[in-house]
Structure 1
Amino acid sequence: MNPQDPFSQLRDIHLPDPGGFWPPAPGWWMLAILAMAVSAALIWQILKRRQRNRWFRAAWSELALLESSAAPNARWFLLLNTLLKQAARERYPESHPEALTGEAWVEFLLATAPTHRVASRPVAEALVESAWRPSVSTEPDQALAFARLWLGGQKC
């Protein structure tokens, strides 16, 4: 070391100690809070939708039970009509479909069916009429196909 050289008295550059990962910067805290809020809102929406569509799942399970016990008699068609009216009451409460009968009920079913309205008219009419007539005028398979078509278009 030369006492007359002021540069010889300088020390080498020292890097600061590396910072740890904890505690995170304020931006990371805000991002974590935002992520938790979005996750909570998404879970709430999913649960709310599941609750709102419980009738839809119940209707499909009831339709599966009716399908396994399909019989060409008035009682079976009455049960199928009851199922469709319950589903219609849940999906369209403002229309009061549970009070509809006969031609008005057929028109409601066709108006709320997703597609094939003209082709479905004879089946819908037979489905409604077979519930109260002693002899049925359609096959259960055709009525089930119409019920599946109608329920399939009711997704929320």
Structure 2
Amino acid sequence: MSQQPPQASSELPLRDIHLPPDPPWWPPAPGWWVLFVMVCAALVLGFVLLRRIRRARIWRERVMAEIRQLADRHPSDDAAYAAALHQLLRRAAWRYAVDAHHLQGEPWRRVLAQVPVDAATLDTLMTLEASMYQPGATFDRVAMEEAVRRWLQAAWRRMKPLETGHA
């Protein structure tokens, strides 16, 4: 029983090696999906951050414009100017204490001290409260306005402006 191996002859129908077909372009490989999701997340995050920065900038510009308007509205009446600046501070401090609109004295100072500013600025802001009740009181308007600006700028770093209508 000896069998003879088949001989290579032209009578056997052999075909050449077949390569698999090229991979389709759709759906993409999982790595492309991960890259797509990362790019979309980065775009959404960038949009949210730019929008937040823009809203904060608009809010700051409105507050600074309001300070300028208050100075123009009360050019010679220091008590009215002090009351207007004090009201602006109370509206901004509302984010730190819900009852900031009626606090006076030491509780009001503690609310103002929640914002990291120097003691001289706090002292200047506390004289604002006393100046608004004295009809003939005079104070350094430039120093008072600068103290209000410093406090508001320090407060902006700690809070996120949710609504542009406050402060």
TM-score (norm 1): 0.66
Q: How many residues end up aligned between the 2 structures?
A: 145
User: What is residue 114 of structure 2 aligned with on the other side?
Assistant: 112
Equivalent-residue separation in structure 2 for 1:125 and 1:79 (angstroms): 14
Residue pair 1:120, 1:146 contacting (<8 A) in 2 also: yes
| Divergent runs of 4+, >6 A | none
- Deviation of the 1:29 alpha carbon: 8.2
Q: 2:154 maps to which residue? A: 153
Describe the superposition over 1:29-68 as per-residue Cα deviations: whole angstroms up to 9, x where unpaired: 8637854985698489759x94xxx799546513322225
Q: Once the 2 structures are TM-superposed, how far is the Cα of residue 82 of structure 1 from its aligned partner?
A: 0.6
Amino acid in the other structure paired with 1:78: A
Q: What is the rounded CA distance, in whole Å, between the counterparts of 2:57 and 2:133 in structure 1?
A: 26
Partner Cα separation in structure 2 for residue 92 and residue 102 of structure 1: 16
Aligned: 1:98 with 2:101: yes
SS in 2 for 1:105: helix
Matched with 1:65 is: 66
Q: Which moved more, 1:138-147 or 1:29-38?
A: 29-38
Larger radius of gyration: 2
Counterpart position of 1:126: 127
User: CA deviation digits over 1:9-43, x for unaligned, max 9?
Assistant: 64333322312211224x35863785498569848
Report the Cα distance in structure 1 between the residues aligned to 2:57 and 2:82, rounded to whole angstroms.
20
Name stretches of at least 5 consecutive residues in structure 2 with no aligned partner. Answer: 1-5, 160-167
| 1:138 Cα offset (Å) | 2.0
TM-score (norm 2): 0.63
Task: Decide whether aligned partners of structure 1 residues 98 and 6 sit closer, same or farther in structure 2, where only a CA change above 3 A counts.
Answer: farther
Change (3 A) 1:105 1:137: farther
Q: 1: CA distance between counterparts of 2:66 and 2:36?
A: 47
Which structure has the highest helix share of the two? 1
Q: Distance in 2 between matches of 1:124 and 1:67?
A: 18
1:24-103 equivalence runs, <5 A: 24-25=28-29, 27=30, 31=34, 35=38, 38=41, 42=45, 50=52, 58=59, 61-70=62-71, 71=75, 73-89=78-94, 91-94=95-98, 96-103=99-106
Whole-Å separation in 2 of the counterparts to 1:79 and 1:15: 83
